Amino acid sequence: MEKEALDKIVDEILSLIEPHKSNIDGVLFYLHGAGRARDVEDIESYTLEKIRSILPNDIPIVSTLDLHANVSNEMLELSDGLFGGYEYPHIDFFDTGYLSIKL
């Protein structure tokens, strides 16, 4: 995707989190794990970094990932947990999300 599209999506996510950040106990995302954007090789780390920048450091951020995710060191550093799905077709998203929330 174009970087402008990515920025629009990330800005929308941030606009939903920002007003509630003082009431958030944690953040759970479903990130694909293999997305690409022009001029941004690792859109998951890009997104996590933007979210991390507006939240207090003690707020956990966890993410579920597609079974063919490309996990980077940056993704590991910016999150408190990454959980991959195992099934194709993707029928285990609920279970994977549940495990993420339990963390």
What is the pTM (predicted TM-score) of this model? 0.90
Contact by Cβ (8 Å): 38, 3: yes
Contact by Cβ (8 Å): 20, 54: no
- Report the C-alpha gap between 43 and 33 in whole angstroms: 8
- Report the C-alpha gap between 12 and 34 in whole angstroms: 20
The tens digit of pLDDT for each residue in 47-78 reads 999 999 999 989 999 999 988 899 999 999 99
Tell me what pLDDT residue 14 has: 97
The closest alpha carbon to 68, from 27, 31, 98, 38, belongs to 31
Query: What integer is the mean pLDDT of 32-52?
Result: 93
Tell me what pLDDT residue 67 has: 84
Coil vs helix vs strand at 63: strand
Omega of the bond leading into 89 within 30 degrees of 0 (cis): yes
Query: What integer is the mean pLDDT of 70-93?
Result: 92
